Structure 1
Amino acid sequence: MRDAPKPFSSEWINAPAATRVRPRRLPRRSHHWLIAFFAKLPGERGLTFLVVLVLVFSSFWFAGPRGEAHVRSGSRVVADVPAAPRLTFGEPEPTARANISTEALTVNTAGNAGGEQDAVAPQLKLEPEAAEEEASTPNGLLPKNRILAFYGFPGNPDMGILGEYDMDRLLEELRKQAAEYEEADPSHPVLLAFEVIASVAQKDPQADGSYLQDTPSDVLDQYADFTRENGLLLFLDVQIGYRTVENEIKGLKPWLSQDHVHLALDPEFAMKKGQVPGVHIGSIDAKDVTFAQNWLVDLATEARITPRLLVVHQFKETMLTNKDRIAPVPGVQLIVDADGWGTPTEKLATYDFVNRTTHIEYDGVKLFYNQDVPLMTAEDVVNLDPSPLLVIYQ
């Protein structure tokens, strides 16, 4: 190697500055290989595309099995609306008929005996509906459905629409009414029903002192057969009079043992000593409702039928004493129906204390074609708070 000029000599001063060489940490061969590798990589946009592509394909790997997505709009599930169901019921097993009078009926057709109601500010549903509650009774018809019923006594138009038409025509009219509810609330399929008065309150004691006349057995048979064959529910309404709830429902066991037949209690005509139906407003106690609930559960087990529905009508607070002691019972679904006719404001006030202030399990409302002026629309009804799952027309 050539000797460098001595420091501060003329040769040292005039010599050009030495070229700075970057330190080398890799052998020259590895250095050239890395330069060639990175030169072949794509630019910034290309790298971004590759990263996105890797993430997309990774999502398929980590995702679970394919299934249906649940899309929510507000608080409702957005889904195709199922067709209105048609229930099917098996033939009832032969059983002994109850001893029910077949004498001609004389019915009390007096107007609403409920008297005046204290006006309460109406409660309408103004906020999005909360997620629907789960049924406390497995395999029960509620809360996934809404039940629409026509009420009355066969052949007597003064007691409700059920008495205005024969059964075939009545079913046609009921289907027309149901279409309005299916449009107003597609989330609840509409189940059709007849509610037949099985014991009719009278102004006179009658031979047994009950102030009742019983609907003839063959009439109950006709309605039970027709509703079963056409996929309808049938409610048998008892007006109790001077009998007990226990005696009333046990007398109807042959029909209540059928899968599609259910029970309704009408405290308005359940009399105490010295009272007369149509003059006084009757009542039943929480213990009567609880007895009916438990009896229906036992009946369903014995007859091997689906869970029962129990309807209790109410339009005055005094009609259900100790109501706060009534509770849901697994195996039977309880519906308290806000009864009584009047203006929409009066009906909303009644509905408020029956099914909002003193709510128990499920809620119902009764409408009167001839007495409610103006008649509430299906949209009005489904927007009540809470929304009723039983709607009865009389």
Structure 2
Amino acid sequence: MKPLVDAAEKAGVYVILDLQPGRTDFLTQAKLYRSLLARPHVGLALDPEWRLKPKQKHLRQIGSVKASEINRTASWLAALTRTKHLPQKLFVVHQFSTSMIKDRKRLDTGHAELATVIHVDGSGPQGAKQGTWSVLRKNAPPVDGWGWKNFVDEDEPMLSVPQTWRQVRPRPDLITYQ
């Protein structure tokens, strides 16, 4: 992974490490990438869909995480950023279902070292995606931004960046493709 992060740095590209930990907690997995996260152009994303309980299986169940686990990871990343005197880091939390983040209203989004973004990453027809966007924005904790994911093979139709910019309201702060 380091050669890719090096190449991104050379090209002036920001990297977001996307953690899908399975049965490991997010903080344990994030610490494995400490040396990469200590670099100014590397942020972190947490994907609760892939945070499974002992008997759950990938692609059979949708994982979930407690807000407290996200908060511990955010606190660790904020401390690393502060200690290393790094610029503010992007801290992305993926979500496409209200059940993915337990006690979401308790998310600690107050770390000045982090720009916290809830990344709405559901796939499928645009009407369903717009519905998910609306539901997840209701009663959300205060965050620095909102993200929208376009799935190349799963969205119907898949929106281009200009289409996303015109059709998604309020406009997302982060648009990604997978």
1:54 is matched with which residue? none
Question: Conserved in 2, the CA contact under 8 Å of 1:281 and 1:319?
Answer: yes
Q: Are positions 1:247 and 2:28 aligned together?
A: yes
Pairing of 1:153-232 with structure 2 (within 5 A): 220-232=1-13
1:333 maps to 2:108: no
Q: Which whole-Å CA distance do the structure 1 matches of 2:160 and 2:85 have between them? A: 38
Q: Which residue of 2 aligns with 1:373?
A: 156
Alignment TM-score, normalising by the size of structure 2: 0.92
Q: Are the counterparts in 2 of residues 356 and 385 from structure 1 also a CA contact under 8 Å?
A: no
> Could you say which residue in structure 2 is the equivalent of 1:360?
142
Question: Deviation of residue 289 (structure 1)?
Answer: 1.6
Secondary structure of the 1:258 match is coil
Summarize the Cα distance change of 1:304–1:331 in structure 2 as closer, same or farther, 3 Å threshold. Answer: same
Return the match for 1:311 from 61, 78, 92. Answer: 92
**Cα distance in 2 between the residues matched to 1:221 and 1:328:** 29
Aligned-residue offset at 1:314 = 0.7
Q: Residue 287 of structure 1 aligns with which residue?
A: 68
The one-letter amino acid paired with 1:307 is Q
Give the equivalent residue in structure 2 for 1:348.
130
Distance 2:101 2:69 in 1: 10
The offset of 1:253, in angstroms, is 0.2
Residue 106 of structure 1 corresponds to: none
The runs of 5 or more residues in structure 1 that have no matched partner are: 1-219
Give the partner amino acid of 2:171.
Answer: S
Letter in 2 for 1:340: G
Q: How does 1:1-394 map to 2 (within 5 A)?
A: 220-329=1-110, 330-358=112-140, 360-361=142-143, 362-383=145-166, 384-394=168-178
SS of residue paired to 2:80: helix
Letter aligned with residue 33 of structure 2: L
> Match for 1:341: what amino acid?
S
Q: 1:273 offset after TM fit, Å?
A: 2.3
Larger radius of gyration: 1
Give the Cα–Cα distance (whole angstroms) in 2 for the partners of residues 282 and 241 of structure 1: 8
Give the Å deviation of 1:381: 2.0
In the TM superposition, residue 376 of structure 1 has moved relative to its aligned partner by 2.2
Alpha-carbon distance, 1:359 to partner: 5.2
Which 4+ stretches in 1 moved above 3 angstroms? none
Distance 1:378 1:244 in 2: 33
Instruction: Provide the TM-score with structure 1 as the length reference.
Output: 0.43
Contact 1:342 1:373 in 2 (8 A): yes
Q: Which amino acid aligns with 2:93?
A: V
Paired residue secondary structure (2:119): strand
- C-alpha separation between the residues in 1 aligned to 2:84 and 2:12? 19
From the two aligned structures, give the one with the greater strand fraction.
2
- Taking the aligned partners of 1:273 and 1:334, their CA distance within structure 2 comes to 28
Cα separation, 1, equivalents of 2:35 and 2:121: 27
Residues matched between the structures, number:
175
Deviations 1:23-64 (CA, angstroms, capped at 9, x unpaired) = xxxxxxxxxxxxxxxxxxxxxxxxxxxxxxxxxxxxxxxxxx
**Whole-Å separation in 2 of the counterparts to 1:251 and 1:263:** 12
Deviations 1:86-111 (A, max 9, x none): xxxxxxxxxxxxxxxxxxxxxxxxxx
Q: Is the 8 A contact 1:356 1:386 kept in 2?
A: no
Task: Note if contact 1:338-1:355 (Cα within 8 Å) is conserved in structure 2.
Answer: no
**Cα pair 1:338 1:364 within 8 Å, conserved:** yes
Q: CA deviation at 1:261?
A: 0.6
CA distance in 2, matches of 1:381, 1:343: 13
Show structure 2 runs of 5+ residues with no match.
none
